[in-house]
């Protein structure tokens, strides 16, 4: 397998993960571009936490079994797909032969790329064929016929760049408010943002629903959750109570509830799994 990424790593099971650098022109619109191939041929179970990412997965191997907020069944099989923002964990099963390229868009990038109200994708798994999008269909077919990772990444980059840079995205007010929520780790008051842009909270929520795919409150919850995980990973604070206080949770019990709701595990279980 030809590697084109700056970073190539083997997972604990010996599977391959390739990280392709995101072009600087796409900063703020694309979070990651990766290639993934399972080689273990052993069943794999994963849980993806709620996140501020809208993935596009183009599969070359066997499909994943994926469900939002519950264990997947054999009916929940997806090869090439996307999914909007969700406030619950995503549960994934694989037979150990999955093989895909993944483009993780930020919500602002997804608004540009898909060019549709983002609530249409929220809390859903959507097969790429269901989008009825000729550009996405052509990309999936071209990547499926390619064997070189270098050329796969080049094709993907060439396909998404003009679309992300040449189409209208979220309104300036929504983009600004979204950026403030993320930069503050979810600490900024939604009422303050609404006042700053001259909208009611109800109107701001409606615009977020259409352009981001989630209400500002959910975006803030996920941003706060992400900040807590980042602090824990960095070893900051003297314990979860310190992290809860620093990230704006009302108390440690509140932090635990959010870890379970958004991540599917208690803080202690999450740290142990890491």
Which of 33-37, 45-49, 185-189, 269-273 shows the lowest per-residue confidence on average (mean pLDDT)?
269-273
pLDDT at position 1: 44
Cα three-residue angle 186-166-194, rounded to 5 degrees: 30
Backbone angles phi, psi at 266, to 5 degrees: -70, 160
pLDDT at position 9: 53
- Given pLDDT bands bounded at 50, 70 and 90, which one contains residue 39? confident
pLDDT at position 68: 97
Q: Do 91 and 83 contact (CB within 8 A), yes or no?
A: no
pLDDT at 230 over 60: yes
pLDDT at 24 over 60: yes
pLDDT at 10 over 80: no
- Given pLDDT bands bounded at 50, 70 and 90, which one contains residue 249? very high
- Given pLDDT bands bounded at 50, 70 and 90, which one contains residue 270? confident
pLDDT per residue over 152-182, tens digit each? Answer: 999 999 999 999 999 999 999 999 999 999 9
Q: What is the mean pLDDT of residues 76-97?
A: 95
pLDDT at position 183: 97
pLDDT at position 13: 59
pLDDT at 99 over 70: yes
pLDDT at position 41: 82
Give first-to-last CA distance, the chain, whole Å: 28
- Please write down the HEC assignment for all residues of the chain: CCCCCCEEEECCCCCEEEEECCCHHHCCCEEEEEEEECCCCCCEEEEECCCCCEEEEEECCCCEEEEECCCCCCCCEECCEEECCCCCCEEEEECCCCEEEEEEECHHHHHHHHCCCHHHCCCCEEEHHHHCCHHHHHHHHHHHCCCCHHHHHHHHHHHHHHHHHHCCCCCHHHHHHHHHHHHCCCCCCHHHHHHHHCCCHHHHHHHHHHHCCCCHHHHHHHHHHHHHHHHHHCCCCCCHHHHHHHHCCCCHHHHHHHHHHHHCCCHHHHHHHC
Q: Which of 51, 50, 154 is CA-nearest to residue 101?
A: 154
pLDDT at position 4: 44
Which of 38-52, 102-116, 214-228, 253-267 shows the lowest per-residue confidence on average (mean pLDDT)?
38-52
Share of the chain above pLDDT 90, in %: 83
Which of 7-11, 115-119, 197-201 shows the lowest per-residue confidence on average (mean pLDDT)?
7-11
Q: What is the mean pLDDT of residues 58-85?
A: 95
- Given pLDDT bands bounded at 50, 70 and 90, which one contains residue 11? low
Top-confidence residue, 42 or 86: 86
- Given pLDDT bands bounded at 50, 70 and 90, which one contains residue 266? very high
């Amino acid at each position: 397998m030809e590697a084109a990424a700056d970073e190539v790593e083997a997972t604990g099971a010996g599977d391959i993960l390739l990280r392709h650098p995101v072009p600087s022109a796409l900063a703020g619109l694309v979070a990651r571009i990766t290639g993934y191939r399972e080689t273990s041929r052993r069943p794999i179970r994963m849980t993806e936490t709620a996140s501020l990412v809208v993935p596009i997965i183009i599969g070359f191997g066997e499909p994943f079994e994926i469900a939002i907020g519950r264990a997947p069944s054999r009916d929940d099989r997806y090869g090439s797909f996307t999914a909007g923002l969700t406030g619950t964990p995503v549960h994934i099963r694989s037979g150990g032969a999955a093989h895909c390229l993944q483009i993780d868009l930020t919500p602002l990038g997804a608004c540009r790329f898909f060019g549709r109200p983002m609530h249409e994708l929220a809390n859903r798994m959507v097969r790429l064929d269901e989008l009825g999008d000729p550009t996405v269909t052509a990309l999936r077919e071209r990547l499926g016929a390619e064997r070189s990772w270098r050329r796969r990444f080049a094709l993907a980059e060439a396909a998404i760049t003009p679309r992300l840079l040449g189409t209208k995205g979220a309104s300036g007010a929504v983009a600004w408010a979204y950026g403030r929520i993320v930069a503050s780790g979810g600490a900024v008051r939604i009422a303050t943002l609404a006042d700053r842009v001259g909208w009611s909270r109800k109107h701001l929520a409606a615009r977020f629903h259409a352009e981001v795919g989630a209400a500002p409150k959910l975006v803030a919850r996920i941003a706060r959750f992400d900040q807590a995980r980042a602090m824990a990973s960095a070893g900051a604070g003297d314990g979860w109570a310190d992290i809860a206080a620093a990230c704006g949770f009302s108390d440690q019990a509140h932090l635990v509830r959010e870890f379970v709701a958004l991540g599917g595990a208690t803080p202690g279980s999450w740290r142990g799994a890491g």
